[in-house]
Amino acid sequence: MKILLIIFILISKNLIALDTNQTEITTDEGIEIFQEEKYYLLKKNVKIKSINFSLSADIVKAYFDKDLYDIIKIESFENVTLSSQNGIIAKGQKIFFSIKDEKILIEGIKSSLINKGMQMFSDTSIEINNYTGEFKLRGDNTKLTNNDLNVTGNIIDGFFLNINGVNEVNSLYVEDEDEINIRTSKINMYAKKSNYSKKNNLIELFNSVKIIRSNEIIIGDYAKINTLKETIKVTSDKTTNKVKILLNNDE
């Protein structure tokens, strides 16, 4: 029997108490309840549906507050998919989800998170606080995109703001010992490290800088770019290096 007897009891209790807030949980292999630790363990083809979120995974530890259906935190493993009422869609081999404050940690190969116009990808970890707007991405194949930016690098930290229902990147720190890449609609940028401030309309690039814009390529050690005025200042920190500008004539 796929739906456990105890789950039927939970559903019935919710339906009687508050029909619109019912929580439905199904699993193929059973449930273990740890009353003192306030969590229960679900195994194989687990599906949870509630007013706040939906989740599917092979193994789930669901922590509760007062009653079994009052879930406050979830630890889920193996082929996990999570969607929340606030527009988050997350996938990974492990997902840890705090329901009250929507803190989410995704781990594993091909981890991903889509959140109101912002997309995050990594083969290691994605961490996000949906209320403060803070996020941290780590590892190979790490990437962040939205309408304004396309960013790659082993370390991507930052904050986002919700503006008219769309999450926009407000600030960024990007780092990679090999090379980072930041692309806008008009400029393609490479370096080892970068800071971005939407408030100040400023991108700073550090070490092994290369900027590609239209028919020009600018190479140096440091760059400051005003994204509003589209002005670029490139300098060299080393006496042995000089700023280089390469102009391509497509004609």
Over residues 88-125, the pLDDT tens digits come to 899 999 999 998 788 999 999 999 999 888 999 999 99
The third-level CATH classification (topology) of the domain covering 5-185 is: lipopolysaccharide transport protein A fold (2.60.450)
Write the DSSP string, 114-129. EETTEEEEESSEEEEE
pLDDT tens, position by position, 126-164: 999 988 999 999 999 999 999 888 999 999 999 998 888
| Per-residue model confidence (pLDDT) at position 4 | 42
- Break the chain into its structural domains and give their ranges: 5-185
Segment 4-19, tens digit of pLDDT: 434 433 333 332 222 3
Report the alpha-carbon distance of residue 74 to residue 95 in Å, rounded. 8
Q: What is the DSSP letter of 7?
A: H
Mean pLDDT of 190-198: 96
Instruction: Write out pLDDT tens, residues 30-86.
Output: 889 898 888 989 999 999 888 888 999 999 998 988 777 678 899 999 999 999 888
Mean pLDDT of the chain: 85
Q: Specify burial of residue 63 (Cβ count, 10 A radius: 0-12, 13-18, 19+).
A: middle
- Could you tell me if 41 and 85 are in contact, meaning their C-beta atoms sit under 8 angstroms apart? no
